[in-house]
Structures are given as C-alpha cells and as structure tokens.
Amino acid sequence: MLPDVHIVNTFVLLHYEAVTQTRVGRAAYHHGDLPNALADAATNLARRGGPEAVVLREAARQVGVSAAAAYRHYVGHGELLRAVKDRALEALADAMQDGLDGGERLADPAADAMRRFTNLGRAYVGFAVDNAGLFHTAFCRSENVRGDGELTARIAATRPYQILSVSLDELVAAGLLHPDRRAVAPIAFWAAVHGLATLLVDGPLAAMTKPEQDLAVQRTLDILIEGIGSTPRPA
C-alpha cells in the first residue's frame, strides 16, 4: 500500500503546484499586467488584420484568460481599440522619427532640412506599405470627437504631427518655407503623403512594383518640395 500512497501524494502535489501556478499567473495580471498583455495581443491582431480584427474575446483567448477577466480592464471593444490605435500611432511615429534622423547630415542647412523632409515622407509611406494593418488601425475612427477645438488639440498632440512640425520648422528656419504658409503646411503635406500611402496600400497604385512605388513617392515629394519654395498668393 505504501507505493500507492506515494503515487497518490505525488499526484496531489503536482495538481496543487499546477493550480498554484495558474492562480499566481492570473493574480499577476490583476496587478497590472493583464491590460498590457491584452493590448499586446490585440495589437498583433491589428497588425495582421487591421482594426476589424481587434476583438476583445479573441485577445483574451490568446492571452489565456476569460472574457470576464478581460472586461474588468476594458469595458468593451472601443476601449481596447483605442489602446491599439495609440500603439499603432506610436509605431508610425517611431518610423517617422527614424526616417527624419537617418542618413548623413549635410553641411548646408537648407539642403539638410530638405533631405530630412524627404526622408520623413519616405518613412511615412514605407510604414504604411510594410504595416498596412497597423496603418489602418492608426487612423480608424474609434470614437466620436466633438468640437473643432478638441479635434485640433488632439491632432496637434500626436507624435506624428509633432515630428512633421519639427521638419516644417526646419524648412522655415532654412528660408525654404514661407512663414505665412507654416500654419496650413501640416495638413497640406500630411494629406498629400497620407493620400499617396493609402493609394499604395488599398488603391490602384497597390499593383505597382517596388521600383514604381519608390518613383511615385519621389515624384510626390518633388512636387511638395517645389511648392515649398513658391511665393504665397495674396490673400
């Protein structure tokens, strides 16, 4: 009977350890890890399938917790999508910053400001083409924003907008962008580059080869650069 007792005791001990490890793991989530774990899982879903793929129950399943546990941290789909949207915008901003700071600095401030602006545009489009799911998620409508003032403030607070603003300020300082155009320049340039990125990801330009895409990006940036140097029309 003694061997059987040892077998039973061993089984009970292993079962207790398994249950304990499970409880410890779940307790760690409840102390702050679960929201990030869910956001990580949801971001991976968005990377593969865009904002439509962000489903709270699926994120919970991938993390290994119940839907009820997930809903204690995210009230619903909207909250989780907002968290993923913020992460996607940060990923885009990181790519833009790398593009702005990449390459060798030129001695001429005007030439260097133009080089950085061009690299910024290429980085933006490159991120969209290489990360279509996150690109779509970064600009999806996760909630309604009321009031023009609130919308303007939210746009200005985003890192992509701030990085673009740095480049535009450099163009003004170098005498390449007229100060009178500085206020409207962010929307004009952002719209042009974002529109091109959308055409390359979802539109008719998606069928282009890589060299053709690169040429389209360069020609678009060339037009923007030519516009930068023109004189504003009288109001």
Confidence of residue 60 (pLDDT cuts 50, 70, 90): very high
- Residues 138 and 81: beta-carbon distance below 8 Å: no
Do residues 171 and 139 both lie within one domain?
yes
Q: Which of residues 155 and 6 earns the better pLDDT score?
A: 155
Residue pair 120/96 in contact by the 8 Å Cβ criterion: yes
- What would the pLDDT profile of 70-102 be if each residue is shown by its tens digit? 989 998 889 999 999 999 999 999 999 999 999
Total domain count for the chain? 2
Q: 94 and 58 in contact (C-beta within 8 Å)?
A: no
203 vs 31: which has the higher pLDDT: 203
Predicted local distance difference test score (pLDDT) of residue 145: 53
Contacts of 105 (CB under 8 A, 6+ apart): 112
pLDDT at 201: 97
pLDDT at 41 over 90: yes
Tell me whether residue 194 is in a domain: yes
Q: Answer yes or no: is pLDDT of 129 > 70.
A: yes
Of 122-126, 127-131, 151-155, give the lowest mean pLDDT range.
Answer: 151-155
pLDDT at 46: 98
Q: What is the mean pLDDT of residues 113-126?
A: 97
**Residue 17, both tokens:** 């350890």
Cβ atoms of 85 and 140 within 8 Å: the answer is yes
Joined together, the tokens standing for residue 189 give 């340039």
Establish if 78 belongs to a structural domain. no
The mean pLDDT value for 125-149 works out to 84
b or e along 209-221 (b: 16 or more beta carbons within 10 Å of the residue's beta carbon)? eeeebeebbeebb
Whether this model's pTM surpasses 0.85: no
Domain of residue 156, CATH code: 1.10.357.10
- Which range, of 33-47, 135-149, 154-168, averages the lowest pLDDT? 135-149
Task: State which residues form the domain around 215.
Answer: 85-228
Q: How far apart are alpha carbons 33 and 223 in whole angstroms?
A: 48
E strand or H helix at 131, and its extent? none
**Is residue 84 within 8 Å of 43, Cβ to Cβ?**
yes
- Rounded to a whole number of angstroms, the distance between the first and last alpha carbons of the chain is 100
| Residue 231 DSSP label | P
Tell me if 76 is assigned to some domain. no
